[in-house]
Structure 1
Amino acid sequence: MTQALVSIGSNIERDFHIEAAVHALRQLDPQCRFSRIFEAEPVGFEGPNFYNLIAELHTAQPLETFWQAIRDIERQHGRQRDDIKYRDRTLDIDLLIFGDHCQPSGPTLPRNDIYKFAFTLWPLAELCPTQAVPGDGRTFAQLWQAFDQHQPLWPIDTPAYLKDQSSS
């Protein structure tokens, strides 16, 4: 089984789309784990605040099949991949880590969002603090401790659909 770490975000009907993503990811791995949900201001544009969290799944699927599965979940919730980059999103699911894969495209792994965004790194540091980034060697906790960009971010109260998870 390969570990996959994915980021999940929404700023349109946030509760609905985040809960739907959690349920869809549990279909891929019933034992998946989730970080807390964090609220964050949009980066690169004006709009409603986002809800963001990280999911850890384990899969026997090859990379391309798994990547397509999470893109299908996005598409089912109105995500269009040809959209402009910085805009409101019903659902954004990005593959951050897939086992020890390091590759420059299709998808880029590990995804650079790990280093750039507090809404990605803080939940990673909480969910998998001692895990090292493939090709880097530093742990998520070490990266979070050294993170020096100011990005407003705060945890929200845990909704019932995350409290019900038995594996975290």
Structure 2
Amino acid sequence: MSILAHIGLGANLGAARETVQAALNDLAAEPGIELVKVAPLYSSAPIDSSGPNYINTVASIHTSLSPEQLLAALQKIELHHGRERPYVNAPRTLDLDLLLYDKITLNTPMLTIPHPRMHLRAFVLQPLRDIAGNMTLSQGSLDTLLGQCKDQGLSPLP
């Protein structure tokens, strides 16, 4: 069975743009994952963090993996690209977030779906809107939620 899921990608250390592109290739090569759509790249200022601006996008995938298996695959790709977790919201070489997994709601010590802060982040909402239209989350439509995040620095990249 193929499930539609959405993955947030971001990086702000090293060659961030190239790392995000490489991570998309890694995602597409992962068994049980088919890359469906990728939003344009955006630059965003760090939120609750420090360091250089992030490069962000969102990808939609079809997957036969369970949410936990998909999370493990994402963490494997992060590690491959040098991800370290020295403290909460530390700058990172790569961050892959499981944003949505079909219409499933999950809240375990390991994984929360939908991602608990995605509705507060323009760098997630805008690329998600680019590939999913004006989808509605439990907190409201993407357009409404984006309006509430308009003060966050977000710029499309060429």
TM normalised by structure 2 equals 0.88
**Structure 2: stretches of 5+ with no match in the other structure:** none
**Partner in structure 2 of residue 100 of structure 1:** 103
Pair 1:151–1:21, CA change in 2 (3 A):
same
Alpha-carbon distance in structure 1 between the residues aligned to 2:73 and 2:60:
15
Structure 1 residue runs of 4 or more that deviate by more than 2 Å after TM superposition: 28-32, 130-133, 137-144, 146-149
**Partner in structure 1 of residue 86 of structure 2:** 83
For 1:61, which of 61, 65, 78 is the aligned residue? Answer: 65
Alpha-carbon distance in structure 1 between the residues aligned to 2:149 and 2:75:
31
**1:147 positional shift:** 2.2
**Partner in structure 1 of residue 16 of structure 2:** 14
**Structure 1: stretches of 5+ with no match in the other structure:** 158-168
Question: Which one has the bigger strand percentage?
Answer: 2
Pair 1:155–1:60, CA change in 2 (3 A):
same
**AA of the residue aligned to 2:63:** T
The alignment covers a number of residue pairs equal to 153
**Partner in structure 2 of residue 114 of structure 1:** 118
- % identical aligned pairs: 25
Alpha-carbon distance in structure 2 between the residues aligned to 1:107 and 1:66:
11
Would the aligned equivalents of 1:128 and 1:140 in 2 still touch at CA under 8 Å?
A: no
Alpha-carbon distance in structure 2 between the residues aligned to 1:48 and 1:89:
10
Secondary structure of the residue aligned to 1:55 is strand
Alpha-carbon distance in structure 2 between the residues aligned to 1:137 and 1:16:
33
**CA RMSD, Structure 1 to Structure 2 (Å):** 1.8
Would the aligned equivalents of 2:122 and 2:149 in 1 still touch at CA under 8 Å?
A: no
Secondary structure of the residue aligned to 1:42 is coil
**1:104 positional shift:** 2.0
Pair 1:148–1:75, CA change in 2 (3 A):
closer
Secondary structure of the residue aligned to 1:32 is strand
